[in-house]
Copies of this chain bind each other. A is one copy, B any other.
């Protein structure tokens, strides 16, 4: 039963294989087969395998941000908003484990190294903060004295990396965390970033 949109079939197939096997065990031939598509079709939509990978990243990051933003209400205490934000990211990734694994692979590969820190740089230059509220929130928290006076990069590390690790455990399913445990975890990271 052929899908209407072959481009999206390629993206889906690529994510699945890369998530399972890593970038370098994801030959284009396999991606094509998994997508029920000829190899040439990949190259109709993407200039190269590299471009495919970068576009998947860009596409999926945009999606997370959209999701997180939908859920986010810039009201309430800094802590309440912080917890909410962590929850959103966590929920999205747990519900889209392919995205989680793909991000993990991408950000720790030659492909993603350049992107790794660029969001924060952009934020410092006053750009795009509206699409990713965590940076904004932390900055606001620093100004009002709620958040530690520490390099933004480090505050993000104390939050984002921890979320990622929690997602990993939840996906691999060994812990079976309930909502309360997750809440407790984010509460713990909050203690590390707050004064």
Judge whether A185 is part of the interface by a CB distance below 8 angstroms: yes
Shortest distance between the CB of A152 and any CB in chain B (Å): 10
> When the two chains form their complex, are residues A151 and B108 in contact, meaning their CB atoms are under 8 A apart?
no
Does A104 make an interface contact (CB < 8 A)? yes
Q: Across the interface, do B24 and A172 meet the contact criterion of CB distance under 8 Å?
A: no
Tell me the minimal C-beta distance from A23 to chain B in angstroms. Answer: 7
Instruction: Please indicate the chain B residues that have their CB under 8 angstroms from the CB of A165 in the complex.
Output: 154, 157, 161
Task: Return the contact of A109 from the options B22, B161, B181 (Cβ within 8 A).
Answer: B22
Is A169 in contact with B117, judged by CB distance below 8 angstroms? yes
Cβ–Cβ contact A169 & B153, under 8 A? yes
Query: Is the C-beta of A140 less than 8 angstroms from some C-beta in chain B?
Result: no
Within 8 Å of chain B (Cβ to Cβ): is A63? no
Residues of A within 8 A of B (CB): 21-25, 104-105, 107-110, 113, 116-117, 148, 150-151, 153-154, 157-158, 161-162, 164-166, 168-169, 172, 174-175, 177, 181, 184-185, 188-193
